[in-house]
Chains A and B, each alone.
Chain A
Amino acid sequence: MTHDLSAAHAARRREVTRRTAVLTLVNGGLAAGLFAFYTRQSMITRLSLGEITRVLLPTAQLKVAPAAPADGTALAVPVIVYHGVVPRGEHGNVTPETFRTHMVALKKAGYTTLTMDDFRDFMLGKKQVPARSVLLTFDDGRTDTFMGADPVLKKLGLHATMFTILGDARSGKSFYLTLDETKMMARTGRWDVHSHTTDTHVNIRTDAMGKAYGHALAVRRWDEETGRLESDDEWLSRVATDLVEAKRGVAELSGKEVYAFAYPWGDYGQTSEDPLIRTKLRQIGGRIYPLTFAQQKETLDETHNYPSDFGHIMRRIYVHYDMTADDLIARLERGDVKPLPFRDVASFASAGWSLTAGQLVESGSGRDLVDKPGDTNAQAEAFLDGSRRWRDYAVRSRFSLQPDEGVGIVARRVGPSDYLVAIVQQRYACIEQWVGNERISITEGLIDMTAAGRRPHNVSFAVQGQTASLEVDGTQILNANVDAQLSHGGIAFRVEPPRGQRARLHLDDLSVTSLEKPAAESNSNETTPGTVTSR
């Protein structure tokens, strides 16, 4: 009965063949599927389950009522900077939840997120952008950033810019988006990719002992071989090489020209004691990249960027992880361009008042400008964010003066070190001009307001063209010629406390009226023609 047995053997061989074939097919299918999965959407393959549950699923359920677009066009644009999008927020790394609420708030508040091209053209004055525009940026090119942010951007139709560290993208570390992934990110159309250095987003050694370290761009490197800090030329060469390489390398990834650069840690040498670095770093950056960005953790400076700032370093709002959506919107609205005439309904009531020193505390009506507790003899200062475009105007205010207390009305303020200030004390008044943190002129005079006692004084400070004039209780006290460099700028108030006492300033009244020709200002019809100067 050979037949039966060989039939059985044949059947077994067929079965083995069949199973091998099935397995080959199945494995081939699995391998092909995985390959497609990996190459087509290499990003998705890096999604962790945490990202799926924390980002993708909640994002898919997002419903946002589209806000009515804001009327008009923007005069200034704020820039926001985020870093990582991580499960547990810290420093500049927000959670997916925080990021989502921020973006929803932006959308609800009617903000438009600009492309970098739009922003550049706006800054060049070549293009108008919607009134509520914002440039959304992310530093470092981290994987978690993209994974956490992109689904939200996609869902809400927002646009962002990634400042990629080229060297880290090349390294293949999974913490950073790789070169291929960066290319893919650029291809989504939601992301512009710009430069955040090649290899200098690190701390480097600055002394022989290996104890001192500093931001690689903003310090001179310790050269082990020669046993000294690098020379001017060596520093320049190192920094410029790195920035040029990043510009070229990132352009390969984005397929577009790279003209924007974010300084690592927002450090463009501003705090360096090395004159070379303090002056040259921003020059090199600006030479290689037309648009350079810093970041502001503090609120000392204005929030918005004006086209007149082109060539300077762009301000960016640094989003701290515990910033709520309301905080963010308030921060963006703080810098909204303020039209003239401006009138504060109560003392320091406008959301635009921003502190450079001291604090604003609630008082009976509005807020009082006071020094920070613990600082004796320290002055307090608040500037009106969004007033920088003002040119010719009169600041009319009413406030009480203590003996020896000085109140400064700042006008034509374009920054913390460029402004005009009228300082009023009971027996003294002056007008100072500051440019580049140096006082370039002072006009002073003696007055006597002691007779009025504690009664508030009407103090008016007017700037028009090249003249500035100070008026107290209807009497002109001082006149000054204004330097050509201070052609425009916003207002601020400061208070210098009497010796040994606390500073406190309450404005009983504040209004700012335009002194420009009615034709020049579009909404000057609200200005009462009679209230102009009292020259």
Chain B
Amino acid sequence: MQFPTPPRLLRSLFEPKTSGTPSAERAEVSPTAAPACPVRPVTPAPDGKRHVVERVVEVSGWSVFLLLIFVVLSVKVVTLRALSDGMIFGTYSIVVTTYILSRFLLAYLHVPPVGDCNYEPSVSFVIPCYNEESNIQRTILNLLAVAYPRDKMDLCVVNDGSEDGSLREIRQGAFIAKAGGMRTTVVDLKENRGKREAMAEGITRTNGDIVVLVDSDSFLERDSVRRMVEHFQDPEIAAAAGHAKVFNSDTNLLTKMQHVRYYIAFNVYKAAEALFGSVTCCSGCCSAYRRSSLEEVLERWRGQRFLGVQCTYGDDRSLTNNLLRLGYRTAYVPDALSSTVVPDTWRVFLKQQLRWKKSWVRESLIAATFMYKRHPIMATSFYAGLILPLVSPAVVLRSLVWIPFFLHRFPMAYMFGLGVMAMIYGFYYFIHTKDRNWLFGIVFAALSTVFLIWQLPVAILTLKDGSWGTR
């Protein structure tokens, strides 16, 4: 596979966005002698004691991964020849392969910038909470462990009119947080006004330079804040998304599958977008925003209407979109880890997926009006990523209904392609985590391609229906 763009464009990706040399920039940030930053290796240094077996597994994993890609490409070469016979589906097949494989390639090229530990702006955490009594306290207490100067942090928990014991849990958590030296505010909205309102309320009540929006069921790891904050040294960056893991990944098959899915969604898809500073969704689980940028878009975001209806769901994607529209860059921080609780029943899961798809449709259409201004590769893949899922139901229908039941043939090519692509996802996850759950990832990839895609037409048809619909 070759880049379709000249190398000049590629090179520009790695050039620092700030003016001047790194040292000059650093001097500006910390004029006085500051404590030395520990130099973090970009990749963990090879540890001499690493187990041989692990090494072998890794090498063979990569070999299989590349072999699978080779197989897919070989099949595509065949498809290229057959293009004249089936223009539409042949093109689809080639574009979708190119799209998916390019995600891996671009993600690999994404190397997070070097951060300066002396850059320490004030940080505000905002946690909107609605009926989350089982997790909210844990979420709050988790923040106490965050490695960042305590005096530069503050926390605002907004109770969005919860009907369960959330408020009690919040108060209890806040009490402990205050005792731990964290400046904490609890806002009780009395009535349910929606997540956006709750978030907006929290944002206006705080004043940190950086606002970290945390879901009421997400738990930040110790270094996450610092990792995210580092990115804001680049003045063009308005938002940075952390990496969310699945907290309850051991519960059942469904959460295991989502675990792999989250890994791929963040480390492949978001990382690929981050290469161009255009992460399209800084997920609600844990993302940091620059207050100055946030304030530019806050009102617009808060009152967003689409098709004449007040937008309730899709707050995170919408917020990111608003920032991207103004030309800001958004980052993905792979080592800013957090865990989030995912649905463990199919009913809730499907509901959540539908909601995500709705916001994806809405926000992608909005983003389509300005994405062309971005890096050509980013723009191309954005529009491809917008069109492909829309076409996909037709392809599924043709391959799984038309070919077997009307032409009485086994949809060999489709099944093969699906299988290999799912395996590529699975192997990518396995190589990086050595986790045996990679098999569930394969199942999920196939499942979502064949079944979940059908939510998309439903999502389009029910776009106006703005019910809150999570848990």
Contacts and interface: CB of A to CB of B under 8 A. Distances in A.
B105 interface: yes
A2 B412 contact: no
B461 interface: no
Contacts of B81: 45-46, 174
A46 B75 CA distance: 9
A237 interface: no
Nearest to A2: B23
B310 to A, nearest CB: 44
Contacts of B40: 8
A284 B82 CA distance: 37
Contacts of B39: 4-5, 7-8, 11
A7 B41 CA distance: 10
A226 to B, nearest CB: 35
B119 to A, nearest CB: 11
B77 A34 contact: yes
B78 A12 contact: no
A1 B114 CA distance: 15
Given A174-B81, A174-B85, A12 B113 contact: yes
B36 A4 contact: yes
- With most chain A CB atoms within 10 A of its CB, the pick from B22, B34, B70 is B22
A522 interface: no
Contacts of B77: 34, 37-38, 45
A22 B66 CA distance: 12
B303 to A, nearest CB: 41
Given A11-B41, A23-B108, A49-B416, A5 B116 contact: yes
Given A9-B22, A15-B111, 14 more contacts: A1-B33, A1-B34, A4-B36, A5-B23, A8-B39, A8-B114, A9-B114, A13-B14, A15-B42, A16-B14, A26-B66, A30-B70, A33-B70, A45-B74
B37 A173 contact: no
A452 interface: no
Contacts, number: 98
A-B pairs with lowest CB-CB distance, top 9: A49-B412, A15-B42, A8-B114, A1-B36, A9-B22, A8-B39, A12-B114, A4-B39, A5-B26
B418 to A, nearest CB: 12
B42 A11 contact: yes
Contact of B1 (A30, A45, A172, A173): A30
A16 B12 CA distance: 13
B168 interface: no
A19 interface: yes
Interface string B88-114: 000000000000000001001101011
A88 interface: yes
B23 A6 contact: yes
A93 B401 CA distance: 26
A231 interface: no
B2 A27 contact: yes
Interface residues of A, number: 39
A208 interface: no
B394 interface: no
A14 B22 CA distance: 15
B413 A49 contact: yes
B388 interface: no
10 contacts: A1-B37, A5-B116, A15-B111, A27-B1, A30-B69, A30-B73, A33-B70, A45-B81, A46-B78, A47-B78
A45 B78 contact: yes
Nearest to B33: A1
Contacts of B84: 172-174
Interface string B404-420: 00001110110010000
Contacts of B26: 2, 5
A175 B70 contact: no
Contacts of A29: 66
Q: Interface on chain A toward B: helix, strand, loop, or mixed SS? A: helix
A466 interface: no
Given A1-B37, A37-B77, A6 B22 contact: yes
A465 interface: no
Interface of A: 1-2, 4-9, 11-13, 15-16, 19-20, 22-23, 26-27, 29-31, 33-34, 37-38, 45-50, 53, 87-88, 172-175
B43 interface: yes
Given A5-B37, A34-B73, A174-B84, A12 B111 contact: yes
B42 A48 contact: no
Contacts of B42: 11-12, 15
Interface string B25-40: 0110000011111111
Contacts of A26: 66
A19 B74 contact: no
Nearest to A22: B108
B25 to A, nearest CB: 9
Contacts of A27: 1-2, 105
A373 B86 CA distance: 49
A370 B403 CA distance: 47
Given A5-B116, A45-B74, A31 B1 contact: yes
Contacts of B36: 1, 4
Most buried by B among A1, A27, A34, A48: A1
B14 to A, nearest CB: 5
Given A2-B23, A53-B412, A19 B73 contact: no
Contacts of B116: 5
Contacts of A20: 109
A48 B412 contact: yes
Contacts of A5: 22-23, 26, 37, 39, 114, 116
A1 B116 CA distance: 11
A370 to B, nearest CB: 40
A88 B114 CA distance: 62
Nearest to B38: A4
Nearest to A173: B84
B78 A48 contact: yes
Contacts of A30: 1, 66, 69-70, 73
B384 to A, nearest CB: 19
Contacts of B43: 15
The residue among A4, A33, A50 with the most chain B CB atoms within 10 A of its own CB is A4
